[in-house]
């Protein structure tokens, strides 16, 4: 009897295991777990060859990542007029939304993405989030991102004020994020995106200003360098939402500066320093949640997303930039000391600007 039961269980496991692992072959030859996901392979092939051609976590990847957040955050748990989340409204109603001060520079993303959106039969909402997810895979250090498919496009635009501004205080920023369903910890986790980002319009005299010294690596340097004492501006001074950074050529947003020092978030911020696994895992979960705001009934198409690029262990080691040490840190977290880090060799130098993708112009 016992032997017969084991045989039966093994047979059931084999049958259901095969069903769970069943694959669909698309007309284009690729396989996926769900036939609906076949629609994404032509999009993937096109943007890999033409949007991200030669892009190694540079301007195109940065641009698609930024617009994904600005679109998705048009959502509120308490006020339906704030929008339906990751719904493509930022492009569909671009004549209105792209005029908001908080969306300054998103026209770059519009110029980059709309020619591809017009070529493919998926929703604008899905394209924005799909392009951002594929763009993430260009950046060493990212964990494999999931992707859900089937977003509905917006039928009305999001109002001004849904995107937090860099000049706002921490309590205002956290309240807006909480209203969208994102906690303080998730807010800090999402800001790991600034480790692979740059500013084009905060300083009107310069574009492609990096937020940390390694803008093509998803590493913890951003969380190190925002905690350094500010000493200079990379270009002009007096720009709204900008404070002095600790490294020549680097731009620091006022909001990042404050979040790194506020009692509500400073220990969450410091927890990322030299902890690549924590930063990557927290971002992976928070970004996936953000991409699905306001959307229901989505299909898991994660197996369409290209494989990520691992970050070598040597590059995962955080450091102080040349000429700087622990004495340059403005300690903020009251419950644990800022980690001891090595100082990179060489002389201090001005960080180069991120080369701009001609498709964004």
Q: Is 219 annotated as a binding residue?
A: yes
Q: For the residues of 101-135, what is the DSSP string, one character each?
A: GGGTTTHHHHHHHHHHHTTSSS-HHHHHHHHHHHH
Residue 277's Cβ-count burial label (10 Å; 0-12, 13-18, 19+) is: exposed
Handedness of CA 230, 233, 234, 238 (dihedral sign): positive
Instruction: State the maximum Cα–Cα separation within the chain, in Å, rounded to a whole number.
Output: 82
Q: Is 195 annotated as a binding residue?
A: yes
Phi, psi of 263 (to 5 degrees): -65, -25
Q: Is 85 annotated as a binding residue?
A: yes
Q: Is 71 annotated as a binding residue?
A: yes
Percent of the chain as helix, strand, coil, to the nearest 5: 45, 5, 50
Strands 242-243 and 252-253: antiparallel
Taking the C-alpha atoms of residue 128 and residue 104, their distance in angstroms, rounded to an integer, is 17
Do residues 283 and 63 make contact, with C-beta atoms less than 8 angstroms apart? no
Handedness of CA 179, 268, 142, 66 (dihedral sign): positive
Q: Is 55 annotated as a binding residue?
A: no
Taking the C-alpha atoms of residue 260 and residue 312, their distance in angstroms, rounded to an integer, is 26
Taking the C-alpha atoms of residue 293 and residue 156, their distance in angstroms, rounded to an integer, is 16
Q: Is 257 annotated as a binding residue?
A: no
Q: Is 256 annotated as a binding residue?
A: no
- Please tell me what DSSP assigns to residue 232: B
Do residues 84 and 75 make contact, with C-beta atoms less than 8 angstroms apart? yes
Q: Is 360 annotated as a binding residue?
A: no
Neighbours of 345 (CB within 10 A): 7
Do residues 59 and 357 make contact, with C-beta atoms less than 8 angstroms apart? yes
Taking the C-alpha atoms of residue 296 and residue 200, their distance in angstroms, rounded to an integer, is 34
Residues known to be catalytic: 70
Strands 148-149 and 299-300: antiparallel
Annotated binding site for Ca(2+): 71, 85, 87, 89, 195, 212, 214, 219
Binding-site residues, please? 71, 85, 87, 89, 194-195, 212, 214, 219
Binding residues for heme b: 194
């Amino acid at each position: 009897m016992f032997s017969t039961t084991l045989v039966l269980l093994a047979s059931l496991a084999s049958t259901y295991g095969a069903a769970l692992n069943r694959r669909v072959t698309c007309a284009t030859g690729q396989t996926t777990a769900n036939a609906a996901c076949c629609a994404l392979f032509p999009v993937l092939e096109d943007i890999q060859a033409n949007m991200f051609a030669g892009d190694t976590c540079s301007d195109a990847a940065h641009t698609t990542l930024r617009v994904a957040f600005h679109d998705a955050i048009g959502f509120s748990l308490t006020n339906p007029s704030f929008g339906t989340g990751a719904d493509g409204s930022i492009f569909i109603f671009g004549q209105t939304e792209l005029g908001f001060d908080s969306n300054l520079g998103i026209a770059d993303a519009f110029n980059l993405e709309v020619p591809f959106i017009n070529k493919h039969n998926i929703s604008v909402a899905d394209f924005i989030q799909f392009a951002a997810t594929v763009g993430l895979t260009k950046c060493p250090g990212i964990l494999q991102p999931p992707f859900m498919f089937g977003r509905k496009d917006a039928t009305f635009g999001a109002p001004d004020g849904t995107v937090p501004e860099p000049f706002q205080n921490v309590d205002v920023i956290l309240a807006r994020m909480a209203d969208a369903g994102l906690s303080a910890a998730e807010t800090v986790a999402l800001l790991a995106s600034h480790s692979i980002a740059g500013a084009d319009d905060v300083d009107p005299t310069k574009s492609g200003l990096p937020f940390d010294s390694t803008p093509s690596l998803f590493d913890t340097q951003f969380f190190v360098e925002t905690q350094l004492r500010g000493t200079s501006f990379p270009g002009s001074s007096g720009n709204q939402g900008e404070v002095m950074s600790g490294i020549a050529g680097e731009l620091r947003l006022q909001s990042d500066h404050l979040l790194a020092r506020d009692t509500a978030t400073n220990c969450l911020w410091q927890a990322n320093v030299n902890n690549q696994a924590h930063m990557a895992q927290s971002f992976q979960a928070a970004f996936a949640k953000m991409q699905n705001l306001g959307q229901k009934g989505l299909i898991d198409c994660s197996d369409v997303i290209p494989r990520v690029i691992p970050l070598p262990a040597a590059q995962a080691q955080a450091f102080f930039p040349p000429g700087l040490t622990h004495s340059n840190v403005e300690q903020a977290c009251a419950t644990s000391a800022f980690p001891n880090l090595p100082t990179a060799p060489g002389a201090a130098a001005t960080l180069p600007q991120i080369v701009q993708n001609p498709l964004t112009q």
